[in-house]
Amino acid sequence: MSQDLTSSQLRRVLAEAADAPPGDPIVDSLMLALDRTKLFRYHNDEPVALLSTAGRVLMAAIEDPTMTQRAIAVYLGCSESLVEKTLKALTTAGLVTKTKINHKNVYNVDREAVETHSDIRHLARLLEALNPPPPVDTDEPF
């Protein structure tokens, strides 16, 4: 599947093929299935990427540790050389280890290193700030 299609364009094509409106749940199921198999990045229409390339490559490695550098590049819509450099930086930083299994690289993410990374801790605090806990009701009936 070409990355030149946007999610909304692909949604219209799938809706037409399924003889259903674009908002039909079957169309959404097809879009999610394509995303899970890494044939098409479902959320590719955002005008601004909120994560750095390193964050996006790390997420791809978490989603599927057996993805090739080429597959990650296609999935993220960037060059293979950028993915290669990013994976080297993630490996050097101790966030990812690369293991060769049957002539294929497998990228294992060090969960503890990721969870304790200052950017992840900062993001967690920001997400908590977006969803503050409900106020405690101090007016208890007697």
For 7-37, the pLDDT digits (tens) are: 777 778 888 888 888 788 888 888 777 777 6
Checking if the pLDDT of 62 tops 50, the result is yes
Nearest to 90 by CA among 113, 67, 124, 72: 113
Q: Which domain holds residue 34?
A: 1-48
Q: What is the pLDDT of residue 40?
A: 62
Say if CB 7 and CB 42 are below 8 A apart. Answer: yes
CATH number for 108: 1.10.10.10
> What are the DSSP calls for 101-121, one per residue?
ETTEEEEEE-HHHHHTSHHHH
Higher pLDDT, 138 or 119: 119
DSSP assigned state of 51: S
Q: Is residue 123 part of a domain?
A: yes
User: Does residue 68 lie in a domain region?
Assistant: yes
The overall pTM is greater than 0.95: no
Q: Is 72 within the bounds of a domain?
A: yes
Same domain, 36 and 93: no
